[in-house]
Amino acid sequence: LQAYSAAGADCLYAPGLATREQISAVVKAVAPKPVNVLMGTPSELTVKDIEALGGRRISVGGALARAAWG
């Protein structure tokens, strides 16, 4: 992610973050760039939780398509 930041990315996207610790670590590592958190599967985290951890955008990826096909 730091290479993308150095190359000029406006918002950094890190798929696979699932825990508070992972989100917090990535947010701190790339600060002050905003981090987009992918929440495509059920999670105990709320929008407020992700905001408190420093996440600035939330994507659902293919979750809507999977729900429709399910």
**pLDDT interval class at 1 (50, 70, 90):** low
**pLDDT interval class at 44 (50, 70, 90):** very high
- Using the predicted structure, report yes or no on whether residue 5 has a pLDDT greater than 80: no
Give the tens place of pLDDT for each residue, 8-22. Answer: 878 888 788 999 999
Place of tokens 């994507």: 59
SS3 category, 3: helix
Distance from CA of residue 34 to its chain's centroid? 9
In the chain, what is the straight-line distance between the N-terminal and C-terminal CA atoms, in Å? 33
Average of per-residue pLDDT values in the chain: 89
Distances (CA, A) of 18 to 15, 23, 37, 66, 68: 9, 7, 9, 18, 23
- CA atoms of 4 and 66, how far apart (whole Å): 29
Most confident of the ranges 53-57, 59-63, 65-69 = 53-57
